[in-house]
Amino acid sequence: MADTTIATVGELIAALDQYDPATSVRLATPPDIGASVCDSLEYPLAQVLFAQDDTSQPVVWLCVVDHMGYLPEPVGAALGWS
């Protein structure tokens, strides 16, 4: 896994450019400190929202709904969370 921070829409597009557009997309959340990777959750992206943050700066938000389940062990390991 690349150690990268994605801070702009352009960086997100560049990071996704190598993948087939039909590929599923999910959001993975890290486990709480002291928890196992089995406590990590996966979420489907539900919405992309353009809105200002509390500093009045425009931001694109990737929004989620209810979690789908626990993050698969190989994904947590690839992220270095195990």
CA distances from 11 to 4, 15, 76 (A): 10, 6, 23
What's the mean pLDDT in 38-46? 85
What's the mean pLDDT in 19-41? 81
For residue 40, tell me if it sits in a domain. Answer: yes
Number of domains composing the chain: 1
For residue 71, tell me if it sits in a domain. Answer: yes
Q: For residues 33 and 19, what is the distance between their CA atoms, to the nearest angstrom? A: 32
For residue 33, tell me if it sits in a domain. Answer: yes
Give the residue numbers spanning the domain of 31: 24-78
* 6 — pLDDT class (breaks 50, 70, 90): confident
For residue 18, tell me if it sits in a domain. Answer: no
| Residue 41: per-residue pLDDT | 86
